[in-house]
Amino acid sequence: MPLPATIHTAVSPEAIHRASRLFSGGALDAIHEILQNSRRAGATRIAVDMMQVEGCAFLDMRDDGCGIDDPAALLTLGFSGWNVDIARREDPAGMGLFSLAGLDVEIHSFSPALGESWKVRIPARAWDSGAPLALEPCDLGWGTLIRIAMPEDWKLGIRSVIAQAARHYPLPVTMNGVLLHREDFLKDAIAIEELQGCRIGVYKADPNGLDGCRVNFHGLHQAWPAHGA
């Protein structure tokens, strides 16, 4: 089945409003969601690059994952499109890309099923309009690239936000070619147990001293205080 000529957002303004309650609209939420999707796509590394194009600031996030066969699924709020194994293990909500709702975004991806690449631009106003979005061919060889036109409130401190998102991420992340620091989410635990695919850390410390962390966003680790500590 060939790629469609156009796709459109399958979402109402009310659904966008509900999605906004799940995401703060800030850079950290959006970057976490994109990293989550890259991991699920089987990526082994992620490259983040900041650049200026004709006076505008852009953030590129590129992974080497499996790419996207169905561009329309990408813009259907509540439909994740992940395979059965990921759906069973992680129960994804299908809201990840909508953390970027209201921003000007361009997506390039390779379709393994068709052996060709495509791109689509989503203007800021198109997220809840249902307007048709033209698919075009591109020369991306594999994986997915998401280019975000950074709003003003992203620009200040974006480097530290990316470093924070990458700190406990299970895959290597580079920023403008430099490998970012990573550490085990459970590095300070006195004991670590495996339970139903999760690593559970036991701590002696006051749970209020754990920076408020209980579950790693990426769904791979948990942090619990020791009983009676």
Assess whether 219 and 107 both reside in one domain: no
Assess whether 100 and 208 both reside in one domain: no
In terms of residue numbers, what domain contains 212?
Answer: 191-225
For residue 144, give the nearest of 26, 51, 64 by alpha carbon: 64
In a domain, 10, yes or no: yes
Per-residue pLDDT of the chain (229 residues; tens, 9 = 90+): 678 888 776 654 555 555 554 555 689 989 988 998 898 889 999 999 999 988 899 999 999 999 988 888 777 765 555 555 654 555 444 456 878 888 999 999 999 999 999 999 999 998 877 789 999 999 999 999 999 999 999 999 999 999 999 998 989 999 999 999 999 888 888 898 887 767 888 877 665 555 555 566 555 555 555 554 4
Assess whether 101 and 14 both reside in one domain: yes
Assess whether 204 and 153 both reside in one domain: no
Whole-model pTM? 0.79
In a domain, 55, yes or no: yes
Angle between helices 27-40 and 158-167 (to 10 degrees): 40
Q: How many domains does the chain have?
A: 2
In a domain, 186, yes or no: no
